[in-house]
Amino acid sequence: MTDTDRTALEAAAFRRLLAHLRERSDVQNIDLMILAGFCRNCLADWLQEAAGEAGLAMDRAQAREHVYGMPFEDWKARHQREATPEQLAAFEASRRRHGA
């Protein structure tokens, strides 16, 4: 496999992940953080960092819009629920597990 092939496959997988997360707006970021140690905002931060490393201008709002498929504030208003005490406790426990 060439580097170009690998890059194309990784890009396709990333696009599929974004599409999946957009379809699963019922899955809250805190749940992703608890289970996996990353969330949509992490993906946006990584995308912004990659853009910077490539010499491309991308601010946090642009990166989040790319990941969420809409402005972050719109997504929050439509889909984000208040974290429950149980979620907050699980999040704190997961931070220790994930080394955050």
One-letter-per-residue 3-state SS of the chain: CCHHHHHHHHHHHHHHHHHHHHHCCCCCHHHHHHHHCCCHHHHHHHHHHHHHHCCCCCCHHHHHHHHHCCCHHHHHHHHCCCCCHHHHHHHHHHHHHHCC
Tokens of 41: 């905002």
Confidence check: pLDDT of 99 > 70: no
Model confidence pLDDT, tens digit, residues 12-65? 999 999 999 999 999 999 999 999 999 999 999 999 999 999 999 999 999 999
